[in-house]
A and B are shown apart, each in its own frame.
Chain A
Amino acid sequence: MPDKPGRNAIEVVDVSKIFGSGEGQVAALDTVSVSIRENEFFTLLGPSGCGKTTLLRLIAGFDFPTAGEILLYGQDIAPLPPFKRPVNTVFQSYALFPHMTVADNIGFGLEMLGKPKAQIKVRVAEMLKLVKMEALAGRRTSQISGGQQQRVALARALAPQPKVLLLDEPLSALDYKLRKEMQIELKRLQHETGITFIFVTHDQEEALTMSDRIAVMSSGKILQVGSPWDIYDKPAERFVADFIGETNFLTAAIAGVSDGKAQATLKSGATINATVAEGFQPKDKATIVVRPEHAKLTAAKGDLSGTVENIVYFGTDTHIQVRLDSGEAFTVRQQNTRSAGCGFEQGEKVGIAIGNDAAQVLRD
């Protein structure tokens, strides 16, 4: 997906957040900088404890950075309390007001902004329609299902027309099918409202399917920012490659680099072309990654050779785990056809062919 050019809605500049003091102090964020463009669906992705929620809370104003600036369209909002920021949040727990109806929840933000009653009524009706909840406007929030609460939480956060919408793992409490539906729904809402979304998740699949751009975070740092395609196919670091999807790691000797491609000699003796991240000069030895679906099993000897250890059927595809002659593990993902099996058997000697554009050299 091509990057959308545009102004920056949010600029996070050298932000650090340290919790606690003295011995027990923990840096939840360590000099993080990132720009989030206007109208984009931006995802902060990482395992729990990586700092993604902390960053979101700093943008929302629930916490204040220890150092650094957070700019909203060029204006530093880091010291402002949450009620002075044109930014709204969809909470992981939804945090709907249990003593109010669905409609009152949606209208709360506008009411607090002091908008006239008639205007609030119109906007609430609009929002109810947007999230398809018109029929349940008068219900209490305890009388509606989890998926419906999710929609109300979205409508409530969108009603005051924030400049940026923050979503803190909003789909994690939903079951699989509902989550899939809401993913599409969220994309539609983002498209229809044109509001910049900052979405926090630990689910890499969710991040890949929904985002315009993703920032992968680990231990309080942003490791890589890019489109889902960039992140998946051109991971810059081992953590990113490992966290997103399944990957094979191979050690290789680098013979030379030209035009962003390195000639990598594998342990098997075969030499393949591997792309190198921009501005990175690999040393003699490097780790290269090959996605399981970008390699092919062959009966004949390929770039690598080994023995089939295990065959796992997944419905749409089959994962064939191979123990390479060099001792490393390697998985190949093969698309299933309806009529035949995968064509290989456990214990069989096989070769693996790596495509011309399948490998990537990692920054170590």
Chain B
Amino acid sequence: MVATTLSKAALFETGAAKATARRNRLLSVPALVIIGIFGVLPLIIICVYSFLVAAPYGGVQWQFSTDAYLNFLFQRDIFDDTLQFTPDFLIIYLRSFLFAVVTTVICLLLGFPTAYFMATRAPAQRNWWVLLITIPFWSNLLVRTLAIMFIIRDEGLINNALMALGVIDKPITMLYTNFAIQLGLLYAFLPFMVLPLYSSLEKLDFRLIEAAYDLYATRRQVLWRVIIPLSRPGIIAGCLLVFIPALGAYVTPLILGGGIHLMIGDLIAQQFGSGRNWPLGCAQALILMAAVLVALFFYVRNTSGRIQHG
């Protein structure tokens, strides 16, 4: 009697579990549809276009060609049809990587103390700090980037102030330089570093820090041996959230670089605009994606292993 009730209960439970699992799968359908339509489908189109020939006024001709990929590194001589190595695009890629890496590193260095400060405030205060960090998101990135432009241009706030104070007598050119792009990138992406770091540090058990102090760890050792290892998930998330979008940044370098100093995003956009070479744009986008995937693979392999094993 008892046994039958039990098995009935068990049957009911597995039945309920199956129903729950079915419901959960059903819940993921909207997300899958959106990813399919707006993620996978465009990717397939880009892939196909990258192997076609550019039409003279934009668009593509349906003719197979690998020219887009060849054009990434080589230029076809108009007279004798030979390929010549032209590293122009490659240089822009490398420069963009450098921008993205520097942005990530500086954001980490600035963001970590900020997030630590926020996480060590009283719980009621913390939400205010999070709110303050998110204030930039309330207005458009384009508007904020234009604001930076007004601050750093030759007759801008900084130069005017320095000249008025007599520190300098000629304006320092900051706008349309690499410095301007770097500044804009840092400004745009710092919150994306601070927020994941904060959410990681907020969960940190501060008694562990006391325990480390008690076991003769100095402040520096506590940081390196306890705080940083335990906030590693936040560091990884923050770095990814900054590095990937910084690499593909479009608005910031366009406005603050003045079209002189290009980044990958602007280069790709050019192919669809004035360049009228859609296949090349598609190929450049895919090469960027491949590069990011490779970088991610090594990054995650090097960091997540340590989370699990030591």
Among the listed A61, A104, A108, which residue makes an inter-chain contact with B212, where contact means beta carbons less than 8 Å apart? A108
Find chain B residues with CB under 8 A from A60 CB: 214
Q: Is the CB of B213 within 8 A of A100?
A: no
CB distance from A14 to the nearest CB of B (A): 25
CB-CB < 8 A to B205: which residues of A? Answer: 93, 95
- Minimum CB–CB distance from B212 to chain A (whole Å) comes to 7
Contacts of B217 on A, CB cut-off 8 Å? 83, 108, 112
The CA of A153 and the CA of B229, in the complex, are separated in Å by: 20
Separation of A61 and B210 alpha carbons in the complex (Å): 10
CA distance A8 to B226 in the complex (A): 35
A88 closest partner in B (C-beta) = B214
**Cα–Cα, bound, A109→B215 (Å):** 4
Q: Is the CB of A95 within 8 A of B207?
A: yes
In the assembly, what is the distance between CA of A97 and CA of B205, in Å? 10
Interface residues of B in 151-170 (CB under 8 A from A): none
- Report which of A93, A101, A112, A156 forms a contact with B207, defined as CB distance below 8 A: A93
Q: Contacts of B310 on A, CB cut-off 8 Å?
A: 99-101, 104
Assess whether A135 is interfacial by the CB under 8 Å rule.
no
Flag if A112 contacts B211 (CB, 8 Å).
no
User: Cβ of A113 < 8 Å from any Cβ of B?
Assistant: yes
Instruction: Say yes or no: is A331 at the interface (Cβ < 8 Å to chain B).
Output: no
A61–B212 Cα gap in the complex (Å)?
12
Is there contact, CB below 8 Å, between B210 and A95?
yes
Q: What CA separation (Å) do A87 and B214 show in the bound complex?
A: 8
A128 CB, nearest partner CB in chain B, Å: 17
What is the chain A residue whose CB lies nearest that of B230?
A99
Residues of chain B contacted by A282 (CB below 8 angstroms): none
Given the known inter-chain contacts A99-B229, A100-B310, please indicate yes or no for A82 contacting B207, CB distance below 8 A: no
Chain A residue numbers with a CB within 8 Å of B216 are: 83, 109, 112-113, 160
A33-71 interface with B by 8 A CB criterion: 60-62
For window 203-246 of B, CB contacts with A under 8 Å fall at 205, 207-208, 210-218, 221, 225-226, 229-230
- Chain B residue numbers with a CB within 8 Å of A113 are 216
The reply to whether B213 and A88 contact each other, CB–CB distance below 8 Å, is: no
CA distance A142 to B31 in the complex (A): 34
Interface string of B35-47 (1 = CB under 8 A from A): 0000000000000
A-B contact pairs, 5 of them (CB 8 A): A83-B217, A95-B207, A97-B208, A104-B310, A108-B217
Shortest 6 CB-CB contacts between residues of A and residues of B = A109-B215, A95-B211, A112-B216, A82-B213, A95-B207, A112-B217
